[in-house]
Amino acid sequence: MANADDVSRGCANIYKLLNQNRNSRLKFIHAILRRFEGAASRSEIPYLCFLANVVSLLPYTTNDEIMYVVFHLNRIVSLRAATLHDALRRHLEEFGRLAVGKITKVDDSARRDVELSTILSLILVLKQYFVRYFELTDARIHAYKPSQPLKTSEILRCNRMNDHLDVSWVDPTAGNDLSGSIRQANIFFALMHENADHQPSLQCVNRSEQVKTVDCEDVGRKTNSEGQLLLLE
């Protein structure tokens, strides 16, 4: 049976065969990224981690391909993050009350939102990977339009070296209990703030928001290195 590395190499080889045709390449990329637009569920998260790795390792040859990936990752986040941002803020307030009462169970609504935040966090990390390793500027990200192909003569800048996308932080079961939910909510909010500069459509993120912390040691496990719950005012 083929392992994940074999499948990734197979996808890369297929992509190489499409290398002379822009439409075919972009359709291939889009077919993979569409999987991130589906229903958010715990069972899908490991598969999406695998797909994120596949996307990060495809043998890109033009800036147009890179920008197309980032454009669609931005689009997915823009469509789903605004309502989730507000919902998680409400959940975090409730999580704080639950922690005080030493209650660790999370209701189904909060669990589903935490699972969606895990998927969107994965998308944001994948986007950061492309921005960092392909030296993309905010201006370039904002200006890109898929209907206007970039010049194929442009040199593809890449600092990727042999570094791989890190998905070791992803916990598909984070929404099962209070501490995991708090930890994942913190990750999501931190990534949203980091990405706000080159995600202009995220009106829900205010870079000047004041951040306060609430001690959550009563949960039983530390939620991060400081054992604190992040709340936005």
- Window from 15-19, 82-86, 224-228 with minimum mean pLDDT: 224-228
- For 132-155, what is each residue's pLDDT tens digit? 888 888 888 988 888 877 666 566
Query: Dihedral sign, CA of 68, 40, 119, 8?
Result: negative
Tens digit of each residue's pLDDT (9 = 90 or more) over 155-196: 667 765 556 789 999 999 999 988 899 999 999 999 998 887
Res. 223: pLDDT tops 50: no
Match 């609430």 to its residue by tokens: 214
* Residue 231 host element (H or E): strand 228-232
C-alpha to C-alpha distance for 80 and 185, rounded to whole angstroms = 15
Q: Given this model, what pLDDT does residue 15 score?
A: 79
95 — pLDDT class (breaks 50, 70, 90): confident
Could you read off the pLDDT of 112-128 as tens digits, one per residue? 999 999 999 999 999 99
Dihedral in degrees, nearest 10, Cα atoms 116, 30, 1, 47 = 0
What pLDDT is stored for residue 159 in this prediction?
Answer: 67
Average pLDDT over residues 5-29: 79
Query: pTM for this structure?
Result: 0.80
- Give the helix/strand (H/E) hosting 229: strand 228-232
